[in-house]
Amino acid sequence: MDPGTKDATVMAETGLVIPSGQFTDRIVYDSDFVSHKTFIQISNNSLHFLTGFFPTDGGSDKVFERQTNNR
């Protein structure tokens, strides 16, 4: 896994309108540059993944949030 590969093709790859400067990083699994691209956005305590072409296959939009332990 190669985290943080820079890529400016999120709108073309996902079919979504994405504000400039967001989802410019992506993860490449096992040097696979042929499959759907997985874009990531990290902000505050959230890790957001986008992959697939939403208009045709529904894509995938996952958000994970860091949980704090307040003991």
pTM of the model: 0.81
> Can you give the pLDDT at residue 1?
41
Distance of CA 8 to the CA centre of its chain: 12
| 70: pLDDT strictly greater than 90 | no
Q: Could you give the CA distance from residue 49 to residue 46 in angstroms, rounded to a whole number?
A: 10
Q: Where are the domains of the chain?
A: 2-65
| Cβ atoms 13, 37 nearer than 8 A | yes
> Can you give the pLDDT at residue 69?
79
> Can you give the pLDDT at residue 4?
57
DSSP strands (E only) in 1-71: 2-6, 25-28, 38-43, 46-51, 60-65
13-59 pLDDT, tens digit each = 999 999 999 999 999 888 888 888 999 999 989 999 999 999 999 99
> Can you give the pLDDT at residue 29?
87
